[in-house]
A and B are shown apart, each in its own frame.
Chain A
């Protein structure tokens, strides 16, 4: 099934049912279907063709959902772009994916224009939420929808077409475009809906960014099952979000450890905070045991799912809530219809208890990285038994005697800050781009709220360089979660025998409990 079919089917089943609420806005399935049909027609009228890429750079607003389904209905491929990215980060994606259009908000237009400068074929900008007149050449989102003729989109394509290219940080410091087909997204959203037992009666609150896999699949699973999605821009004001959740009768609450920490830090939250809540989920980074306990006390009537995923397959494993008591720290087993096994260096399954790399098999795997065959070959390698490609996650796991999976650490230096993946090399490159910086190293230290705090050390040739100035430089080119918390100046950095900067040495001097540091900092899903 193609992804836009989720919407068509739910809209046909009950057009008046509410699909999305955001602030005071309520969008029915019928209205979402019709608005995305008209936007699809507008995109086609402006030249979008099957297989074209179209970027969506928006916060958690209903227009993001309209855009995603419109792009798919037009036969094109949507590229979610994290609105926290600065012009440099956006420019990389535009240069790599070469989208024909960007659907965005007026507040991001300047960054989009700066990012698109220098491209041979500047993408069409379509903007929503403009307080004043839009700059010349920028199309208004509402105008595009209202002026479009209600023509049905032509045959949009097949299940094996690409639906999405989603950029994820790579350990080399260069983001990679994860290519997902309609078939893969259908498989994984169906599997998630099955084990979470989602139905049209669910009301899911999503404060996670739609531009990342975990947030995006809240939308897709809701639309697939006819459920209601309550969109929140962020979790900055927990009480306001919870008031809203209570008023909407929220049944599903997806969390990352940072949000869990914020919930548990609330002073006046009682056990009946969300009376309709049926389940909570955690992904993106492991939930500390104290938070598991805290959440179970606070939401005693709800089921807590500890999950593991990554952009390259969306979701790989989950722990049945009934096992939570007996399997502390486990992310369970493969999601329905897939396999997740721990293998040795040759790609063969290893015995329980031994540490190896987790590989994932099934219909939900990415097709590969966009125009990056070397990275694709490294991640999707043939299963030595069957020859079928299996996804190498780069995450080290072990299993217990019953086959339950336990996350151990990362094979590379990737970190997780507030649940978002950070490549130290990308931050180091940003530091080194500042005039006067000779070399730089970035590492993470564990933090109860953020998962990891980024620390940096630099060698500067310019004695006038100061920490705040360098932080400002970083904040101009990096999203906030990638800006180091502290930067220290050193006369030299520790090196390995081969002359590489010894990041591990710095981690060890900074955090004596390295096991905790890697456990926290490492990635366990997006």
Chain B
């Protein structure tokens, strides 16, 4: 499951913000903002992607660097939100 989430997030980031350039080095823990991969409107696109693809409703308080500022953080956020509540 996590591999799927991981590859979906990576593919989205590369396709949308790096114009499909899979040759660009993009470490999972690399800051997307600091490295100018995404900007303010990019965050909006990222939020729409997470909400639509994974059915997660994001509150304002979820839209923070700790959840979104690297591929690894995005994957971990999605996995936390998708954990079944028992």
* Cα–Cα, bound, A135→B68 (Å): 32
* Cα–Cα, bound, A147→B77 (Å): 46
* Cα–Cα, bound, A119→B67 (Å): 44
**Distance from B67 Cβ to chain A, minimum over Cβ atoms (Å):** 9
- Determine whether the beta carbon of B43 is less than 8 Å from that of A237: yes
Residues of A within 8 A of B65 (CB): 237, 240
Given A236-B33, A472-B20, A472-B21, A268:B40 Cβ within 8 A? no
Given A258-B40, A449-B44, A450-B41, A237:B63 Cβ within 8 A? yes
* Cα–Cα, bound, A267→B36 (Å): 26
Q: Output the nearest chain A residue to B47 by Cβ-Cβ distance.
A: A265
The 10 closest A-B pairs by CB, nearest first: A468-B20, A471-B19, A472-B19, A268-B60, A239-B60, A236-B40, A236-B43, A235-B40, A266-B60, A468-B19
Within 8 A of A (CB), among B35-86: 36, 38-44, 59-61, 63-65, 68
> A193 contacts the other chain (Cβ, under 8 Å)?
no
* Cα–Cα, bound, A233→B65 (Å): 13
> A511 contacts the other chain (Cβ, under 8 Å)?
no
Interface residues of chain B, those whose CB is within 8 Å of chain A, are 15, 18-21, 33-34, 36, 38-44, 59-61, 63-65, 68
Q: Output the nearest chain A residue to B20 by Cβ-Cβ distance.
A: A468
Residues of B within 8 A of A258 (CB): 40-41
The binding surface of chain B is classed by DSSP as loop
* Other-chain residue from B36, B44, B59, B68 in contact with A265 (beta carbon distance below 8 A): B44
Q: Output the nearest chain A residue to B67 by Cβ-Cβ distance.
A: A237
* Cα–Cα, bound, A238→B33 (Å): 14
Q: How many residues on the A side are at the interface (Cβ–Cβ under 8 A)?
A: 27
> A234 contacts the other chain (Cβ, under 8 Å)?
yes
Pick the most buried of B41, B65, B68: most chain A CB atoms within 10 A of its CB.
B41
Contact pattern, A 304-343, Cβ under 8 Å of B = 1, otherwise 0: 0000000000000000000000000000000000000000
* Other-chain residue from A107, A237, A449 in contact with B64 (beta carbon distance below 8 A): A237
> A200 contacts the other chain (Cβ, under 8 Å)?
no
**Distance from A486 Cβ to chain B, minimum over Cβ atoms (Å):** 12
- Determine whether the beta carbon of A262 is less than 8 Å from that of B44: yes
8 A-B pairs with CB atoms under 8 Å apart are A262-B40, A266-B60, A267-B60, A269-B60, A449-B41, A469-B19, A471-B19, A480-B36
- Determine whether the beta carbon of A268 is less than 8 Å from that of B59: yes
Residues of B within 8 A of A266 (CB): 60
- Determine whether the beta carbon of B19 is less than 8 Å from that of A475: yes
Pick the most buried of A267, A268, A449: most chain B CB atoms within 10 A of its CB.
A267
Residues of A within 8 A of B20 (CB): 468, 471-472
Residues of A within 8 A of B34 (CB): 107
- Determine whether the beta carbon of A480 is less than 8 Å from that of B60: no
> A418 contacts the other chain (Cβ, under 8 Å)?
yes
* Cα–Cα, bound, A259→B40 (Å): 9
- Determine whether the beta carbon of B39 is less than 8 Å from that of A480: yes
Contact pattern, A 73-98, Cβ under 8 Å of B = 1, otherwise 0: 00000000000100000000000000
Contact pattern, A 471-487, Cβ under 8 Å of B = 1, otherwise 0: 11001000010000000
* Cα–Cα, bound, A469→B23 (Å): 12
Pick the most buried of A236, A268, A418: most chain B CB atoms within 10 A of its CB.
A236
Residues of A within 8 A of B41 (CB): 258, 418, 449-450
- Determine whether the beta carbon of B44 is less than 8 Å from that of A239: no
* Other-chain residue from A267, A471, A475 in contact with B59 (beta carbon distance below 8 A): A267
**Distance from B2 Cβ to chain A, minimum over Cβ atoms (Å):** 25
- Determine whether the beta carbon of B39 is less than 8 Å from that of A234: yes
* Other-chain residue from B19, B36, B39, B63 in contact with A238 (beta carbon distance below 8 A): B63
- Determine whether the beta carbon of A240 is less than 8 Å from that of B33: no
- Determine whether the beta carbon of B64 is less than 8 Å from that of A240: yes
**Distance from B48 Cβ to chain A, minimum over Cβ atoms (Å):** 11
* Other-chain residue from A236, A240, A267 in contact with B38 (beta carbon distance below 8 A): A236
Q: Output the nearest chain A residue to B15 by Cβ-Cβ distance.
A: A468
Given A234-B40, A480-B39, A239:B61 Cβ within 8 A? yes
* Cα–Cα, bound, A417→B1 (Å): 39
Residues of A within 8 A of B33 (CB): 233-234, 236
* Cα–Cα, bound, A449→B60 (Å): 17
**Distance from A262 Cβ to chain B, minimum over Cβ atoms (Å):** 7
* Cα–Cα, bound, A269→B19 (Å): 33
Q: Output the nearest chain B residue to A83 by Cβ-Cβ distance.
A: B36
Within 8 A of B (CB), among A487-508: none
Within 8 A of B (CB), among A228-285: 233-240, 258-259, 262, 265-269
* Cα–Cα, bound, A110→B43 (Å): 26
Q: Output the nearest chain B residue to A207 by Cβ-Cβ distance.
A: B40
Residues of A within 8 A of B63 (CB): 237-239
* Cα–Cα, bound, A475→B36 (Å): 12
Residues of A within 8 A of B60 (CB): 238-239, 266-269
**Distance from B53 Cβ to chain A, minimum over Cβ atoms (Å):** 19
Residues of B within 8 A of A240 (CB): 64-65
- Determine whether the beta carbon of A236 is less than 8 Å from that of B39: yes
* Cα–Cα, bound, A475→B16 (Å): 12
**Distance from B22 Cβ to chain A, minimum over Cβ atoms (Å):** 11
* Cα–Cα, bound, A258→B39 (Å): 12
* Cα–Cα, bound, A237→B61 (Å): 9
Q: Output the nearest chain A residue to B38 by Cβ-Cβ distance.
A: A236
